[in-house]
Amino acid sequence: MLAALVVCLGLPRTAEAVRIKDLATLQGVRNNQLVGYGLVVGLNGTGDSNSTDFTVRTLVNMMKSMGITVDPTKVKVNNVAAVMVTTDLPPFAKTGSAIDVLVSSIGDAKSLVGGTLLMTPLHGPDGKVYAVAQGPLVIGGFSGGGRAATAQKNHPTAGRIPNGALVERQVPFKLPNGGALTYQLNDSDFTTASRMEKVVNERFGSGTAHCIDGGSVRIEMPKNYDGRTVDFLAALEDLQVQPATQARIVVDEKTGTIVMGEDVRISKVAVSHGNLSLVVSESAKVSQPPPLSNGQTVTVPKSKVSVTEDKGRLMVLDMGVSIGDIAKALNAIGATPRDMISIFQAIKAAGALHAELVVL
């Protein structure tokens, strides 16, 4: 049974202020994605099968690098699984820092429970090794069963290694001691950028901040903060800005989930809701001829069709109603979350919904 959830954020019109550090990021300060190919060993017969050729080759090559020569045709890898290891290298990570890694099977392994990742170099887009991962996996699921039935929880073919990678190479980045800095908004919006510019100028003086566009703000470091870039950024990112949000409704037809923002508004519209149920049932009727009549026994299908239509009610929604009024009105006509998805799509098609409708 799919769970249906409607989240209605009936907040007041005055939104809460948010710190700049939660709205924007300093240009150049970002994570860097790393990836590597490795082997997980120590599995209890739940590893890759011998038909997974690249696992066999990898294991043979690894043994050869250790001075052990084996025949590939005699290698069984049911206790070994080939995996891809991924992680994000955080900004300002220093050599020797530990970071978490995600390990995912790429073969036909059934489970990685109890496995240990062997030393795996993690490469950046430039092909250089920035970290090395190794250690026991933490799996948030299990899989087991017999010939007739199996049981599985979550995904046993993917797991994590907390602090499983050590940084071997730093990404070069140096904060400027003065001059201009550029902040990029996490969600581009002209109103939010303008409000951020105003707040910064009120705190550090006119001309300190200048909006480049709806997604970035250029900030000049004050002279009294020369050589103290970290102190300036700490004071800057702690400032409170009231963000502007876009009116949006997000619906997920697979789960029946609906999420509506507080700025959703509709024009005056009438909505009618009624359910039409069509039930077709089939049954078989046997026709048997009388004795000694040389007839044949035949099966005659019999169909029964019933149509049920619930009484629909017309609900009028006034212009400019709030999200709470929309939810109450739709609940009043007995609309389920899945019905609401169709209703919102119809209202949008009618041109009465003043919000972006996002269908996942």
109 CB neighbour count, 10 Å cutoff: 25
Q: Alpha-carbon Rg of the chain, whole angstroms?
A: 31
Q: Which of 167, 190, 206 is the last residue of a domain?
A: 167
Q: Is residue 204 in a domain?
A: yes
Nearest to 38 by CA among 141, 137, 138: 137
Expressed as residue numbers, the domain containing 62 is: 32-167
So what's the pLDDT on residue 292? Answer: 66
Q: Does residue 232 share a domain with residue 140?
A: no
Q: Does residue 53 share a domain with residue 155?
A: yes
Q: Which of 213, 241, 269 is the last residue of a domain?
A: 241
pLDDT at residue 145 tops 70: no
In terms of Cβ atoms closer than 10 Å to its own Cβ (0-12, 13-18, 19+), residue 147 is: exposed
Which two three-digit tokens encode residue 353? 């919904």
Q: Is residue 158 in a domain?
A: yes
Q: Does residue 71 share a domain with residue 23?
A: no
**Residue listed under structure tokens 């001309």:** 207
Between helix 337-349 and helix 323-332 the angle, nearest 10°, is 120
Q: CB-based contacts of 105: which residues, under 8 Å, 6+ apart?
A: 40, 48, 81, 82, 83, 112, 157, 158
Q: Which of 167, 188, 213 is the last residue of a domain?
A: 167
Q: Does residue 47 share a domain with residue 83?
A: yes
- Taking the C-alpha atoms of residue 177 and residue 28, their distance in angstroms, rounded to an integer, is 15
- Taking the C-alpha atoms of residue 104 and residue 38, their distance in angstroms, rounded to an integer, is 10
Which two three-digit tokens encode residue 64? 């050869």
Which two three-digit tokens encode residue 269? 């519209």
pTM summary value: 0.67
pLDDT at residue 154 tops 70: no
The total number of structural domains that make up the chain: 3
Q: Is residue 157 in a domain?
A: yes
Q: Does residue 23 share a domain with residue 130?
A: no
> Could you give the 3-state DSSP secondary structure of residue 200?
helix
pLDDT band at 6 (very low <50, low <70, confident <90, very high): very low
Q: Is residue 54 in a domain?
A: yes
Dihedral angle of Cα 217, 222, 223, 228, to the nearest 10 degrees: -90
- Taking the C-alpha atoms of residue 169 and residue 120, their distance in angstroms, rounded to an integer, is 15
Q: What is the pLDDT of residues 109-127, one digit of tens each?
A: 999 998 999 999 999 999 9
Q: Does residue 207 share a domain with residue 153?
A: no
Percent of the chain with pLDDT over 70: 76
Contact 194, 160 (CB under 8 A): no
Q: Does residue 254 share a domain with residue 237?
A: no
Q: Does residue 70 share a domain with residue 163?
A: yes
Nearest to 274 by CA among 216, 333, 324: 333
So what's the pLDDT on residue 5? Answer: 38
Q: Is residue 231 in a domain?
A: yes
- Taking the C-alpha atoms of residue 321 and residue 315, their distance in angstroms, rounded to an integer, is 13
Q: Does residue 255 share a domain with residue 237?
A: no
pLDDT band at 9 (very low <50, low <70, confident <90, very high): very low
Which backbone phi and psi does 165 adopt, to 5 degrees?
Answer: -125, 140
One-letter amino acid of 29: V
Nearest to 193 by CA among 176, 213, 177, 173: 213
pLDDT at residue 335 tops 60: yes
pLDDT band at 102 (very low <50, low <70, confident <90, very high): very high
Q: Is residue 21 in a domain?
A: yes
- Taking the C-alpha atoms of residue 143 and residue 113, their distance in angstroms, rounded to an integer, is 9
Give alpha helix (H) positions in the chain: 20-23, 53-65, 190-204, 229-237, 323-332, 337-349
52 CB neighbour count, 10 Å cutoff: 19
CATH of the domain at 204: 3.30.1360
Q: What is the pLDDT of residues 337-359, one digit of tens each?
A: 777 777 788 878 888 788 888 88
Q: Is residue 259 in a domain?
A: yes
Q: Does residue 51 share a domain with residue 145?
A: yes
Q: Does residue 332 share a domain with residue 227?
A: no
Q: Does residue 163 share a domain with residue 38?
A: yes
Q: Is residue 188 in a domain?
A: yes
Contact 315, 322 (CB under 8 A): no
